[in-house]
Chains A and B, each alone.
Chain A
């Protein structure tokens, strides 16, 4: 059935093929039946009436275009993406600093850095956001950015540490033996390669960060979910389902695009590292953000 052989099963023989075909038919019927039942049940509750018009014809003097403009421009771009675009560069800079600090020869630098990663990986982003609002009197945007930065800095530093640990120890030894200082070795030899190895994990972390912006909804930061709520409060109860599903489709679309990028990069890197140029590319990959 599957193209790739699984660990758990033998390649099916004639009996197993027949059995699998039977199961395929049975489960197709079960799953399609369940979908049909849910659809029919929703139909009986009148879900397929003209409420969906809000997504293309609009309502109450709003055109459908204006509804999408609210969702995509006011919500996604000026809310969600704004927080992401502000947070990501700050995370990159802080995480690099933290990673370097964690490898420092002096324990007075290393231990606090170690403590920071462990503590802020273990505290909810929402708690940090509330702290920003209540204790630091930040605006909703900056409270959200604070929460995203603190948590993701710790996580990205951890990812980079794992990347450095995965390098052969000869890399560091070679750097030191040609007379580079430990810091220079870190910046010019270890980090660039760690960033390169961990690029897929780093991009997946952007998906996490993007999803966490939705916590802004809870403190009334105007992002995609807040806009969605404002819209269904304005259009009335019947518009809830279409608008919530529209928001879900937007999130899923954006996140899948980012994940696709990670898979694509992974495949590309596997190709290029098989070739003979790993010496040139890493410098480029890590050179720019290493402040």
Chain B
């Protein structure tokens, strides 16, 4: 534990790096993921095919391979050179997490019965009204718990950036352990705790929400 306290500023900066990657990529992947979900339920064929292909390809590719692709293949194939470190981490995480956001949102929308929307229309609500007062509130309920789980995984996945020249929490755990071989357990304990600070509130919230939703149905 001693090595960790001595290097507390390093750990703190690494924590902020992890938090920054998770937040920035989290917001971007939410926007892109909802867009993809809209594509996937849209009546326009080409958009549906595009989103389906994108989601199926990226979801079945390991995140590590996505990073490796951006490092090595993308400059030659796409002429796209992404700066190593935080920008690359944010891009890779966004591309990856958005597919899971898309699937969570899509299955939430599909879980609302068609009859609900029909009933809303038959009592004379407009498209916007039926969407905002009938369909989305119900979809929201079944989207949020799985979405929280997606974001828990997202926060942990930021650790993959440690393998690609980003000094975030996992990289710091590795570096400090190499410098202080006697203190490895303390270091990992501390870094693990730093991750739990971010993830446990979310997983508890997911569980509570789940039971609330279960009552409401």
Contacts and interface: CB of A to CB of B under 8 A. Distances in A.
B87 interface: no
Interface string B187-202: 0100110011011100
Interface in B90-124: 109-110, 112-114, 116-117, 121
A127 B45 CA distance: 42
Contact of A122 (B79, B109, B184, B203): B203
Interface stretch (A22-30, A169-177, A264-272): A22-30
B199 A127 contact: no
* Max chain B C-beta neighbours (<10 A), residue from A121, A123, A213, A256: A123
Contacts of B204: 118
A232 interface: yes
A28 B46 CA distance: 6
Interface string A256-279: 100100000000000000000000
B64 A217 contact: yes
B202 to A, nearest CB: 8
A2 B48 contact: yes
Given A6-B41, A7-B109, A20-B43, A124 B157 contact: yes
B27 interface: no
A165 to B, nearest CB: 9
A7 B117 contact: yes
B163 A126 contact: yes
A91 to B, nearest CB: 17
A163 B126 CA distance: 39
A131 B192 CA distance: 10
A251 B61 contact: yes
B170 A248 contact: no
Interface residues of B, number: 60
Given A31-B50, A126-B163, A135 B60 contact: no
B78 interface: yes
A153 to B, nearest CB: 15
A10 B121 CA distance: 9
B81 interface: no
Contact of B162 (A7, A121, A218, A232): A218
A219 B124 CA distance: 61
B47 interface: yes
A225 B68 CA distance: 9
Contacts of B60: 207, 211, 251-252, 255-256, 259
Nearest to B191: A127
Contact of B69 (A31, A41, A217, A244): A244
9 contacts: A6-B43, A31-B50, A41-B79, A47-B77, A122-B199, A124-B158, A126-B170, A245-B73, A248-B65
Minimum-distance CB pairs A-B, first 8: A122-B199, A218-B163, A124-B159, A214-B62, A255-B60, A214-B64, A211-B62, A27-B46
Given A23-B44, A118-B203, 15 more contacts: A7-B112, A27-B46, A28-B45, A31-B46, A122-B195, A124-B159, A127-B192, A127-B195, A131-B188, A211-B62, A213-B62, A232-B72, A248-B69, A251-B62, A256-B56
